[in-house]
Amino acid sequence: MNDARPTSWLQLANPAVFNRWADRLLWPLVIATLGLFAYGLYGTFFVSPADYQQGNTVRIMYIHVPAAWLALFVYAGMVVSALGTLVFRHPMADVAQKAAAPLGAAFTLVCLITGSIWGKPTWGTWWQWDARMTSVLVLLLVYLGIMALWRAVDDPLRAARAVAILTLVGAVNLPIIKFSVDWWYTLHQPASVFRLDGPTIHPSMLKPLLIMALGYLGLYLVLLLVRMKTELTLRRIDRLQRLAAGIPGERA
C-alpha cells in the first residue's frame, strides 16, 4: 500500500502518504516556477514594450496583476479546503487552510504595495480610495482576521473548524463587499480620478503577463506544499512533546 499511487484523495489524509507525494511534486514544481519566473521576468524587462503613456512604469503590471489574481485564487482554494474540513473532515484540508492563509495575505499585500508604487507616478498619489483598491484592502483585513483566529484557538482541530466557518461566511460576504464598494465608489467619488481604462491589452504584453501569472501560481503551490509539510512536522513534534510530558489521553 505504501508505494502505491494514492488511489483516492482520502489516502492523502495519511501524513506519511501526503509527505511522500509532496516530496515528489516539490522539486519539479520548484524548477518549473524558477523557469517561468526567469522567462516571465525576461519578458517583463526586455521583450514587452514600454507603454506609450506610462513608459517603463507599466512593467509594474507584470508583478501587480498576477498578485491580485493569486489573492483571489488563494481565497477560493481556502473555501474548497474549508468545505473539505467541514464536510469530509479531511485532515489535510485543515493543514492546507492554515498554510494558505498567510500566503493569501502576502499576495494581497504585494498587490496593494505594488499598486501603490504604480499609483504614485501614474495617478500622482500613493493611495486613492478607488473601488478596487478598497475592496482589496478589505480582502486583506479578512485574511488578517482568519490568521488571527488561527492563532487564538489552541486546539488545531477546533481552530480548523472555526476558521472554516469564518472562511465560508467571508466567501458569501466578499462578493457583496465588492458590489457595495463599487456602488459606493460610483456614487461618491469625484470624477477627477484618472482611470486606467486604456486600450485592451496588446498580445506583446499579455504573453509575459500570463507567464508571470503561472510563475506566481507555481510559487504559491511550492510555498503551500512547504508550509503544509512544516505544519505536519510541527504537529508531530507537539504530539511527541505532549506524549513525553505524559499528558493523559495522548496517543503517539
148 binds other proteins (CB under 8 A): yes
CA atoms within 13 A on the CB side of 238: 9
CA atoms within 13 A on the CB side of 197: 3
Q: Which of these segments, 104-112, 165-173, 210-218, 243-251, binds other proteins (CB under 8 A)?
A: 165-173
C-alpha cell at 61: 503590471
38 binds other proteins (CB under 8 A): no
Whether residue 179 contacts residue 192, with contact meaning beta carbons closer than 8 Å, is answered with no
Whether residue 221 contacts residue 29, with contact meaning beta carbons closer than 8 Å, is answered with yes
Residues 118-147, interacting with other proteins (CB under 8 A): 138, 141-142, 144-145
CA–CA separation, 237 and 159 (whole Å)? 18
Q: Shortest gap between Cβ of 161 and other proteins (angstroms)?
A: 4
Q: Shortest gap between Cβ of 76 and other proteins (angstroms)?
A: 18
Q: Shortest gap between Cβ of 88 and other proteins (angstroms)?
A: 14
> CB-wise, 161 or 239, nearer to other proteins?
161
14 binds other proteins (CB under 8 A): no
171 binds other proteins (CB under 8 A): no
CA–CA separation, 32 and 34 (whole Å)? 6
For the chain, first and last CA: distance in Å? 21
Q: Shortest gap between Cβ of 87 and other proteins (angstroms)?
A: 12
Other Cβ atoms closer than 10 A to 37: 18
- What are φ and ψ of residue 247, in 5° steps? -75, 125
168 binds other proteins (CB under 8 A): yes
Report the residue from 4, 187, 191, 252 that binds other proteins according to the rule CB under 8 A. Answer: 187
CA–CA separation, 65 and 87 (whole Å)? 33
87 binds other proteins (CB under 8 A): no
The owner of cell 501524513 is 15
247 binds other proteins (CB under 8 A): no
Report the residue from 9, 88, 184, 194 that binds other proteins according to the rule CB under 8 A. Answer: 184
Give the residues lining the site for other proteins (CB under 8 A).
86, 138, 141-142, 144-145, 148-149, 152-153, 157-158, 161-162, 165-166, 168-170, 172-173, 176-177, 179-181, 183-184, 187-188
